[in-house]
Every structure is written in structure tokens, then in C-alpha cells.
Structure 1
Amino acid sequence: MVALIAGLLLLAFTVIAVHPAVLGWGPEIIMFLKGFAPFFAAFVGLIAVFIGVADIKDKNEAKKEEAASKRQDAKNE
């Protein structure tokens, strides 16, 4: 409940901060977003690459375990 209230308050502050008649931070926020976007894209891309590599490793490990399990089952029969 506290997180919901905090989130709503932060959203309200964002709307007030961007509104040109209140604080007039709109141009600064746009400038920040323009500068931040490439770094954010690089960060998200890097995380996606790490997740992809981990997924490939997990699939290879699962295949090895499945093959070992089949060999063990064939050996026991």
C-alpha cells in the first residue's frame, strides 16, 4: 500500500514538473532524456546479451544432462 501511494505521488510530481506553467522543467527533462537514451539502450542491450548467453549455456547444460540420463537409463536396463 505504501508503494502504491509513493508511486502515485511520484507520478503526480512528474506531471507537475513537466507542466510548463508550474515548474517549467520540460525542456531540461527532454534534454536529459536525449542524453540518457543511448546509455540506457546500451545498458539494456548488454543485459539482453548476458541473458541470451546464460540461456544458451542453460540449454546446452540441459542437453548434456538429458544425454547423460539416457545413457544411465540404457546402462541400467
Structure 2
Amino acid sequence: MELHDRLEEVFRQVFDNEALTLTNEMTAPDIEGWDSVAHINLMFGIEQAFGVRFKGNELAEMKNIGELKQFLIGKGAG
């Protein structure tokens, strides 16, 4: 499964939305239900799915989904 598909699956689970389709330009306000609790769940979900660790506010500082993908690729998760 490609990185994009794996990431989309994590987002669908966290936000309980099977119809959620990610694009590289998407940001938190684009996704219904992305609040502080969902952010923590998303962070842990991504860490578990990809075997990575976020430092501090790293995930929140990313501009969009595309930047998150680049982070994952840089960590060897791609």
C-alpha cells in the first residue's frame, strides 16, 4: 500500500469518515472534526502506522498534508 493510501486510512479511522479523501493542499481547517483531541489521536495514529515519532509540536507546525507526506518520506516511512 502506498504512503498516501496508508495515511488516508489513518485519517479515516481517526475522524471516523470512510469518505475522507486527502489532498496535498489540505490543512486542519479543511477536515471536519479536527480539534485538539483529534489532533492528538491523529499524531498517535500516524506514529503507530508509520513507526515514526513527532517531536513537540512538529505535526501542528506542518503547513498541509503534502508537508506531512514529505516528513514521513524523510523518516523512511514512504
TM-score range, shorter chain: under 0.3
Computing the radius of gyration from Cα coordinates, the structure with the larger value is: 1
TM-score, normalised via structure 1 length: 0.23
- The structure in which a higher percent of residues are helix is 1
